[in-house]
């Protein structure tokens, strides 16, 4: 992808928020939609926020979004196995992703892999 193409791709966060803006019941979520590509090291977009400037909701959605993208088939590549996606997320903790969010996803995934929904004890 060229730099110009990437600049167009980066607009998806603000375009998505603008499209969803008129939906009254989603207005509280617009900052999450527009900020889920921010990175802890400040290299994200659209605002280049870093560390504590990034809301917990945006940190959670960033992790979930990348996990979903990596584990889903795309026209240009096959889905990665979940463990490979988790390893990728862990390798970028501190720079791109929040450690607590990645670890929470990993624990939830492991719990689901060991005890699929409907099979856990309800004790």
Q: Report yes or no: 98 and 63 within 8 Å, Cβ to Cβ.
A: yes
What are the tens digits of pLDDT across the range 95-114? Answer: 999 999 999 999 999 988 77
Does 113 or 6 have the greater pLDDT score?
6
- Kindly state the average pLDDT of the residues 11-25: 93
Tokens of residue 25, six digits: 């019941």
Distance between CA atoms of 92 and 45, rounded to whole angstroms? 16
Q: Domains of the chain by range and CATH?
A: 3-114 (1.10.3210.10)
Q: For residue 46, is the peptide bond before it cis, meaning its omega torsion is within 30 degrees of 0? A: yes
Q: Is the pLDDT of residue 35 over 60?
A: yes
HSE, CB side, 13 Å, CA atoms: give it for residue 116: 0
SS3 117: coil
pLDDT at 93 over 80: yes
- Name the average pLDDT for the chain: 92
């Amino acid at each position: 992808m060229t730099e110009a193409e990437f600049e167009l791709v980066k607009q998806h966060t603000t375009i998505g928020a603008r499209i969803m803006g008129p939906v009254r019941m989603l207005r509280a979520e617009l900052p999450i939609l527009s900020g889920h590509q921010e990175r802890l090291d400040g290299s994200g977009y659209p605002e280049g926020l870093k560390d504590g400037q990034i809301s917990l909701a945006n940190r959670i959605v960033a992790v979930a979004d990348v996990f979903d993208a990596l584990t889903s088939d795309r026209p240009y590549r096959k889905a990665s196995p979940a463990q490979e996606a988790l390893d990728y997320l862990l390798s970028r903790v501190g720079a791109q992703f929040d450690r607590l969010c990645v670890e929470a996803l990993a624990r939830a995934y492991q719990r689901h892999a060991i005890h699929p929904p409907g099979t856990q004890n309800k004790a």
